Amino acid sequence: MQDMNPADIPGEYREVLLNLYDGTRRTVLVTDVETPYPEGKLIVSRTDPEGRITHCNRSFVDMSGYDESEIIGQPHALLRHPDMPAAAFQDLWETAREGRKWHGYVKNLRKDGGYYWVYATVIPNVRNGKVVGYTSVRRKPSKKKIAEAISTYAGMS
């Protein structure tokens, strides 16, 4: 995955080095600008069994700030925000690999360094008893749930 480009970030930003699960690293550029969740919409994406994105809807593209061509084929870690604890994603993957549904609050990173909060559900796509991929549907979280997630994640690593 490519590092983020300072030219894409309007204004001041912080630089953070993320250690990803597969052992690779990515330098991300982060601002404090929140993009509000689009009213009434769902953000949907789908992956192959390895977690590479195969489909995403208009809202996914709009909220991430990337072009669709920059998203397809990438892992969701493209959206990984440094404020998210690795343990949350470990739980997500363990749950989904066991064929179960995962729910959680996720702070996502945009191409422009800003962020947006979602309430996400991840489910495995099971066909003839085999996991052929994963789907995630995100919806608008309440302010209270976001505040709770912020304090929970602050105590995790």
Partner 1 sequence: MPYTFTVSPDFGPDQLANWHIFNTWLQRQLTTDIHFETFDSFEDQRQAIHEGKVDIIYANPYDASFLVREKGFVAVASPHHPDETTVAVSATSPVDSIESLKAGCRIAQTDDPDISMMGMILLEPADLHKENTETLVQDSYIQVAKALLQNQADVGFFLADAYEGLSNLVKSQLKPLVNSDIQIVSHALLLGPQLLDRKEELNSKLQSMSDEPQGKNLLESLGFQAWNPIDEEEMEFMIDLIEALAA
Ligand X SMILES: Cc1cc2nc3c(=O)[nH]c(=O)nc-3n(C[C@H](O)[C@H](O)[C@H](O)COP(=O)(O)O)c2cc1C
| Interface with ligand X (CB under 6 A) | 20-22, 47, 51, 75-77, 79-80, 84, 86, 89, 92-93, 96, 106, 108, 120, 122, 134-136
Give least dist CB 49 to ligand X, A. 10
Closest listed residue to residue 27, CA positions, set 113, 150, 87, 114? 113
Q: Pick from partner 1, ligand X, none: which does 85 bind, CB < 5 to 8 A by kind?
A: none
Give least dist CB 58 to ligand X, A. 16
Sign for the pseudo-dihedral over CA of 136, 140, 145, 147 = positive
Q: Pick from ligand X, partner 1, none: which does 140 bind, CB < 5 to 8 A by kind?
A: partner 1
Rounded CA-CA distance 90/78 in Å is 16
Give least dist CB 148 to ligand X, A. 18
Give the interface with partner 1 as residue ranges (CB under 8 A). Answer: 37-42, 44, 46, 57-59, 101, 103, 119, 121-123, 125, 127, 135-137, 139-145
Q: Using DSSP bridges, classify how beta strands 25-30 and 102-109 pair: parallel, antiparallel or unpaired.
A: unpaired
Q: Pick from ligand X, partner 1, none: which does 42 bind, CB < 5 to 8 A by kind?
A: partner 1
Closest listed residue to residue 106, CA positions, set 144, 138, 67, 68? 138
Give least dist CB 120 to partner 1, A. 9
* R_g of the chain computed on alpha carbons: 15
CA dihedral 21, 17, 58, 128 (to 10 degrees): 0
113 vs 124, beta carbon nearer partner 1: 124
